[in-house]
Structure 1
Amino acid sequence: MNKPAIAIIEDEIPAARLLHSMIARLRPEWDITVIPGSVEEATEWFSTHPHPDLLFLDIQLADGNSFDFLSAAHPSSTIIFTTAYDQYAVRAFTVNSIDYILKPIDEQRLQEAIDKYEHLQQCSNPRPDDYLATLLDALQSKEKQYRTRFLIYRADRFWSLQVSDIAYFYSENKMTFAVTRNNQEHVLDLSLNKLSEQLDPDRFFRANRQIILCIDAIDHAEPYFNGKISVTVRPPYKSKITISEEKLAAFKRWLNF
């Protein structure tokens, strides 16, 4: 079998570097390219370069998702999805793509996906004619799925931070922080606007421009000035959290859901 051309589309640079190093370690002879992890830039790249044989594609990209990219770029590549969403139509991906890999990526799981790709390349029809259409249909799952974990990088180490362990997110000096129930802080490479799209609205509420609250972190709420209310959370937040009068009805509905 000829040496395949490999590409990685991943919106988190540390995750892209980690995946590149893992693939290079398992298949040092492969030619691996890291493509910018946005729909716009990745689509532009595919319009000006030969399509790789195998594409490791993150489901959630910086400015959209893999559905947007596939619809625009029409890649001829075989696809292995990478995802932090452990319920994101994974059964359909297993059937209709080569495979999917959950983040943080385990090297043994990556090895299995590569082995599966190499085995299928020996088959007479490794990529069905309706391959792309079937993938697009799978990605249009009617049931919205939400983020369940984050890949955290610090001091040359990676680990997984579970969303279920987070009490609230806040923004300060153009940086986003996740605060866990045991009062540990982690920097995230996502804006609060982006997080609002990825978090389960039954569990998380955008209180104001600075903070997103988890329902389990709320201790109590009480009246404040000018029709606002003040919210106290566990662990304590360093500033007063207020809900505006305009958001008050939505906040009450959320608490009472």
Structure 2
Amino acid sequence: MNVIIIEDEKPSARRLQRMLDKLDIQAKTLLHSVEESIEWFENNQHPDLIFLDIQLSDGLSFEIFESVAIKSAIIFTTAYDEYALQAFKLNSIDYLLKPIDENELEKAIHQYRENFPVNKQVTLDFSDIKNLLVNPIEREYKKRFSVKIGQHLKLVNIDDIECFYSENKGTYLHTVDGRNYLIDHTLEQLEEELEPQTFFRISRKFFVNINAIQDIISYTNSRLQIKLKSFDEQEVIVARERVKDFKNWLE
């Protein structure tokens, strides 16, 4: 597999290179700017796979595609608009959020190998990528959940859910009328199924509905405590590493 890395942060590029080495994949070419990349593509055979950062030192990497017709699969290695990321993924282009996790990297490589057999190349059109960023593909998020009550199934509308939480290896939803129901989902699965403008994962234990937040209070260790309208089974705390993203989400 012929692989290159386009990344303006040299330590990040070398770290990714070492991680690929562990997977027996050699990325011999490291490029660090739009200008350098354009020149390289004009004078070299295009690789099978590109690991591509979006914001480079001299501009956005999309400028590369305006100058050169790229015939390679691409895995983005950046934090970017989540709707664009989803759109890229639907179009067989994967992404890795920095700092890159080794397991996620391995999964991305596996996905590439499944979707792009050896020696198969794709032509990536810059205008298509640009349109995805401006007009992201709309996707359907869950509108209701089914919960089991004895021998019966009950449907709970998403608007009636204040939060989701994990407890004793189970996942529960809490409704606006103060009821808790066990569901057959993990919080990780919910990340793909909940509308991100409405629900936010504040910690390993909680997703909260923005419409259910009644108060936000400063808490110890630079964390935040959330008061929901009816949930009072336990404290709802925003993890310190999620506080910044949580504040951005609120706005």
TM-score where L is the length of structure 1: 0.48
Give me the TM-score of the superposition, normalised by structure 2: 0.49
